[in-house]
Amino acid sequence: MNILFDLNHPVDVNFFKSTILILKEQGHRIIITYRSRGKLQKIVDYELSDLNSTPIGKHYKRFLSKFFGQLIRDLLMFRFQRKNKIELSVCFGPTNAISSWFNRIPYLAFEDDVEYKIPFYHANIFATRHIMPDYINFSNKRTWKYKGFKELAYLYPGTFRANKNSLKKLNLIESDYVFIREISNVSLNYKEENKSIIDIVSYIVNKGKKVVISLEDDDLKKVLEDKCIVLKEPVEDLYSILKYAQFALSSGDTMAREACLLGTPCIYTGGREMVMNNELIEIEIMYKEDSVESIFERIDLLINNSVSQELSNKINVKIENEWADTTEVILEHINEFIK
Residue 36 CA, chain-centre distance (Å), reads: 17
* Spatial distance between the Cα atoms of 300 and 14, rounded to a whole number of angstroms: 33
pLDDT digits (tens, 9 = 90+) for 206-264: 999 999 998 877 777 878 888 899 988 777 889 999 999 999 999 889 999 999 999 99
Full residue range of the structural domain in which residue 69 is found: 2-147+324-335
Could you tell me if 310 and 191 lie in one domain? yes
Could you tell me if 89 and 199 lie in one domain? no
Could you tell me if 222 and 106 lie in one domain? no
Any domain includes 155: no
**Torsional class of 82: left (φ above 0), alpha (ψ -120 to 50), beta (otherwise):** alpha
Could you tell me if 180 and 263 lie in one domain? yes
pLDDT digits (tens, 9 = 90+) for 38-73: 778 888 988 998 898 999 987 777 777 777 778 889
Could you tell me if 242 and 103 lie in one domain? no
Could you tell me if 216 and 234 lie in one domain? yes
Could you tell me if 204 and 311 lie in one domain? yes
Residue by residue, DSSP assigns 56-106 as EEE---SHHHHHHHHHHHHHHHHHHHHHTT--EEEEESSTTHHHHHHTT--
Q: Is the pTM for the entire model greater than 0.85?
A: yes
**In the chain, how many domains are there?**
2
Any domain includes 66: yes
Residues of the chain predicted below pLDDT 70:
183-195, 305-308, 339
Could you tell me if 309 and 329 lie in one domain? no
